[in-house]
């Protein structure tokens, strides 16, 4: 039972990571790419870390629970830090005057306005 | 001049590459280090220093003299960057475009930084103090502590952090870190031991010689952490503002 939850969490995390990579490579401009990186990266990291934290419950002992607690703590840190870093990068890009994408893209990913 | 320095650098590099010929192979079981030194550390470290983490006991006790100069190198690096960048005659003001009023501090960044910075500093203290038992120690903890100041400088601006952490006190504190290290070693001399032989501290601390080694290591790790932490911030402050300490990024 525990194993299946762990596997589901881990594979969901991998799926979201794939979406992140796809978005990072395929989206047309800086802002949309950062959007994919910020959202997908955070969610998939947290899913994978939660899966790993649950996995420590296999061997019920204080040391194992401590490891699980540390992993949860890392997840909280990622949850705060990753979106903030994305926001800071976006803000810096806006300050530097990067134009947001405003057109449609064809199949080759090239812009045609 | 550039050609001369290029030739000199290449010659030195070639010399060093040639010298590697004489080094023992990677993981060679017949090398002097594997034959005598490593075995001695592995067999005696626990009973001589009561520190389970072998890396810490080798770094901060057996090879403490080496680590003392590593700390000094970091101190020198900070001072060097300061001396190169700080030129009094170059006083032309950079064109700094201020952000529009009300936007100069980003609320999201500041809230996150205020949440994370105390956690980082607490974790840095943990890394320093727990270096005896887990990976970590003075260098790592100092870097984490210094990074927390850099995080604040990034979220607010350099001036806000410098108002709380004066440049003068940063440099003095980084010197104090080295002084703590050397001082702990010198007091060993005064107490009748060798330089950096922490066992001599047992007379003052009222603990066994083995415990004194452990406590001495913690002391020098704290010195290392102080130096690394303040030099880290000093490097960032100098490099981001071109040595002017005015605006920064």
Render A25-46 in DSSP notation, one character per residue: HHSSSHHHHHHHHHHHHHHHHH
How is residue B117 written in tokens?
A: 């910075």
Cα–Cα distance for residue pair B62/B56, rounded to 1 Å: 9
Is A42 within 8 Å of A87 (Cβ atoms)? no
**pLDDT (0 to 100) of residue A113:** 46
Is B113 within 8 Å of A78 (Cβ atoms)? no
Put simply, the answer to whether A91 touches B106 (Cβ < 8 Å) is yes
Q: How many residues does chain B have?
A: 249
How is residue B32 written in tokens?
A: 């002097």
Put simply, the answer to whether B109 touches A77 (Cβ < 8 Å) is no
**With bands split at pLDDT 50, 70 and 90, how would you rate the model's confidence at B162?**
confident
Mean pLDDT of B212-234: 93
**pLDDT (0 to 100) of residue A11:** 95
**pLDDT (0 to 100) of residue B178:** 94
Q: Is A87 on the interface with B (CB under 8 A)?
A: yes
Q: Which of the residues B115, B124, B135 would you substitute to probe the A interface, choosing the one with the greatest number of A C-beta atoms within 10 Å?
A: B115
Put simply, the answer to whether A84 touches B119 (Cβ < 8 Å) is no
pLDDT in tens, chain A (113 residues): 888 999 999 999 999 999 999 999 998 888 999 988 888 999 999 999 999 999 988 888 888 889 999 999 999 999 999 999 999 888 888 888 888 888 765 555 555 54
CB-CB: which of B99, B109, B119 is closest to A84? B109
CB-CB: which of B99, B112, B154 is closest to A80? B112
User: Judging by DSSP bridges, how do beta strands A111-112 and A104-105 pair with one another?
Assistant: antiparallel
Put simply, the answer to whether A81 touches B109 (Cβ < 8 Å) is no
Cα–Cα distance for residue pair B231/B151, rounded to 1 Å: 15
DSSP B52: S
Render pLDDT for B100-116 as a digit per residue (tens, 0 to 9). Answer: 545 567 788 889 999 99
Is B140 within 8 Å of B224 (Cβ atoms)? no
Q: Is the ipTM of this complex over 0.85?
A: no
Distance from CA of B249 to the nearest CA of A (A): 11
Of B104, B214, B226, nearest to B159 by C-alpha is: B104
CB-CB: which of B106, B112, B154 is closest to A81? B112
Name the H helices within chain B.
2-19, 32, 38-49, 54-57, 64-85, 107-129, 138-155, 158-164, 167-190, 202-205, 209-241
Task: Return residues 108-137 of B near A (CB < 8 Å).
Answer: 108-109, 112-113, 115-116, 119
Cα–Cα distance for residue pair B94/B246, rounded to 1 Å: 10
Whether residue B146 has pLDDT greater than 60: yes
Degrees, nearest 5: CA angle A102-A84-B149 = 135
Q: Provide φ and ψ at B161, rounded to 5°.
A: -75, -40
């Amino acid at each position: 039972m525990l194993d299946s939850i762990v596997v589901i969490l881990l594979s969901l995390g991998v799926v979201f990571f794939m979406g992140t990579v796809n978005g990072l490579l395929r989206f047309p401009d800086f802002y949309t790419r950062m959007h994919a990186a910020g959202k997908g990266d955070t969610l998939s990291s947290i899913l994978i870390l939660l899966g790993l934290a649950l996995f420590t419950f296999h061997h019920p002992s204080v040391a194992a629970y401590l490891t699980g607690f540390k992993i949860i703590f890392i997840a909280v840190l990622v949850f705060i830090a990753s979106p903030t870093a994305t926001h800071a990068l976006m803000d810096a890009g806006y300050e530097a005057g990067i134009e947001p994408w405003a057109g449609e893209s064809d199949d080759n990913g090239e812009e045609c306005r | 001049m550039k050609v001369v320095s290029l030739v000199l650098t290449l010659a030195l590099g070639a010399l060093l590459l040639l010298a590697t010929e004489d080094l023992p192979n990677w993981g060679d079981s017949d090398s002097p280090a594997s034959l005598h030194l490593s075995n001695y550390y592995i067999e005696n470290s626990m009973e001589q220093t009561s520190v389970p983490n072998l890396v810490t006991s080798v770094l901060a006790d057996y090879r403490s003299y080496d680590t003392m100069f590593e700390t000094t190198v970091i101190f020198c690096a900070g001072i060097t960057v300061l001396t190169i960048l700080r030129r009094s005659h170059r006083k032309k003001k950079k064109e700094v475009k201020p952000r529009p009023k009300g936007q100069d501090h980003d609320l999201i960044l500041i809230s996150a930084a205020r949440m994370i910075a105390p956690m980082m500093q607490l974790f840095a203290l943990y890394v320093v103090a727990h270096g005896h038992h887990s990976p970590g120690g003075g260098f790592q903890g100092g870097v984490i502590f210094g990074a927390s100041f850099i995080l604040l400088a990034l979220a607010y601006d350099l001036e806000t952090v410098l108002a709380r952490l004066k440049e003068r006190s940063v440099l003095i504190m980084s010197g104090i870190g080295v002084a703590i290290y050397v001082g702990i070693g010198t007091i060993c001399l005064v107490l009748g031991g060798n330089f950096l032989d922490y066992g001599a501290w047992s007379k003052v601390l009222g603990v066994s010689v083995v415990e004194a080694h452990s406590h001495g290591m913690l002391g020098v790790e704290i010195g290392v952490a102080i130096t690394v932490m303040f030099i880290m911030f000093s490097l960032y402050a100098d490099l981001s503002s071109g040595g002017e300490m005015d605006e920064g990024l």
